[in-house]
Amino acid sequence: MGRKKVRKFSSVEKTKIVLDLLKEELTLVELSSKYGVTSKTLQNWKHQFMEHAYLAFDPSKVVSAYKDEIAHLKDENDSLAKTLSKTTVERDWAVGKLKSLDLLSKKGLVESKLTHLLKARQCKLLSINRSFLYYKSSIEDSFNKELINKIADIYIDHPEYGYRYIYNQLLEDGLSIGKNRVLHYMRRMGLCAVYPRKKVFTSFKSSKYKAHGYLLDKYWFSSGQTRRLYVPKSNQVWSGDITYIKTNNGFIYFAAIIDWHSKAILSYKVSNSMDTTLVTDILEEALSKYPAPEYFNSDHGSQYTSHGHIQLLKKYGIKISMNGQGRSIDNVVIERFFRTIKYNCLFINDFKNIKEIKQGINDYMHKYNYNRFHSSIKYQKPMNVYLTHVKNQYAKAEITRKQNL
């Protein structure tokens, strides 16, 4: 049978799919299944759509951009034509050398990790049959089946075992094998140790960002052998973070901003994709409703170190603080909030889809901010404490303004 033809989507179809993604009623996994597109492709389309949406209101820029692109492509075409003859000579020389190699030597040249050159194409260029890559003796096949069955038996009896434990069990059972091979087969079988996990990281450090230090040590003090946090009043420190929510159809992401003194959640958002807009949207919302804080703390994830997020903080004169390396405790206030909402809302309800999760979170957020007592603020309610401070802050500012008239 021939290879299945890859479907190509028109610009109109891509736009329709992205708009469906922006509704945030389905997870990326559900959208991938619905349209037959990978999650990565969906995220790329969303990024392209958001980056160029402004062109819909300024078509003249599109024409100018196309003219520049045509001129650039013409220059590229001229340059490629000059190098084509040289490349042809070099290719013919390399092909002649390859033909003199034996089959095993040619097999060793095939690279499985090349994304731009499939193994089938490499085999054709090297003049070898693709099936030769996967040839194994019957003795080796028999051993692999025995090993896979043995690993499965051990895992069924001990689901808490990782590959190191299973490796040692295999040695005890008389099977001579390396640790890495055990790990390889466990990954192929989809097996991993079952144990409580502290945290699944949802943000990753960007390779292109300016490092920011942790500026909040002054709010920590020692009590015996314990470090405690004390922020005297609201709007001194805000912090943001992202956590994941597992559903039957993949993951969705929950981002929030919290005030460190009152523990009030000032802004939050649930999304089916974890990108820069997730954190910039809630920061813009919080700053549109409340006075800017003195500090904003986060981790070093690519969302929080993005140009858009950093520039928004600088625009409002907010000092940027980021956790120390590997120190999630530096952002402990919002970490505790995430634990609270998971145990008091998400884990005890059987939400079926994103719509139900969003509604459940909305209901809980109102309860958390306005109805729930919080022990760290002497059993007051978070938003009541925060809004009282903001009201007093505005009143003091008005008095100062009148005095300066």
Number of domains in the chain: 3
Whether residue 376 sits in one domain with residue 232:
yes
At residue 294's C-alpha, the angle toward residues 292 and 298, to 5°, is 95
Instruction: Please check whether residue 273 lies inside any domain of the structure.
Output: yes
Whether residue 364 sits in one domain with residue 293:
yes
For 303-334, b/e burial (b = at least 16 CB within 10 A) is bbbbeebbebbeeeebebbbbeeeeeebbbbb
Whether residue 73 sits in one domain with residue 27:
yes
Residues of the chain with pLDDT under 70: 1-6, 54-68, 70-71, 82, 85-108, 112, 130-143, 156-160, 190, 194-210, 225, 326, 328, 405
SS3 294: coil
Residue range 261-293, pLDDT digits in tens:
999 999 999 998 888 899 999 999 999 999 999
The DSSP-derived string for 7-62 is: P---HHHHHHHHHHHHHT-S-HHHHHHHHT--HHHHHHHHHHHHHHGGGGG-HHHH
At residue 356's C-alpha, the angle toward residues 354 and 362, to 5°, is 100
Instruction: Report pLDDT for 89.
Output: 59
Start-end of H helices in 137-256: 138-157, 163-172, 179-189
At residue 144's C-alpha, the angle toward residues 139 and 149, to 5°, is 130
Whether residue 248 sits in one domain with residue 155:
no
Residue 257 · residue 239 · CB < 8 Å: yes
Instruction: Report pLDDT for 262.
Output: 96
Whether residue 148 sits in one domain with residue 126:
no
Whether residue 118 sits in one domain with residue 250:
no
Instruction: Please check whether residue 261 lies inside any domain of the structure.
Output: yes
Whether residue 383 sits in one domain with residue 247:
yes
Instruction: Please check whether residue 206 lies inside any domain of the structure.
Output: no
Whether residue 269 sits in one domain with residue 313:
yes
Instruction: Please check whether residue 197 lies inside any domain of the structure.
Output: no
Whether residue 225 sits in one domain with residue 80:
no
Q: Where does residue 113 fall: left (phi above 0), alpha (psi -120 to 50 degrees), or beta otherwise?
A: alpha
Nearest-angstrom CA–CA distance, 334 and 330: 10
Range of the domain at 388: 217-400
Residue 296 · residue 240 · CB < 8 Å: yes
Whether residue 348 sits in one domain with residue 248:
yes
Instruction: Report pLDDT for 137.
Output: 46
Nearest-angstrom CA–CA distance, 274 and 42: 12
- The amino acid occupying position 384 is N
The half-sphere exposure of 81 on its side-chain side, counting CA atoms within 13 A, is 6
Helix (H), strand (E) at residue 93: helix 59-99
Nearest-angstrom CA–CA distance, 82 and 85: 7
At residue 73's C-alpha, the angle toward residues 70 and 77, to 5°, is 140
The CATH number linked to 233 is 3.30.420.10
Average per-residue pLDDT for the chain: 80
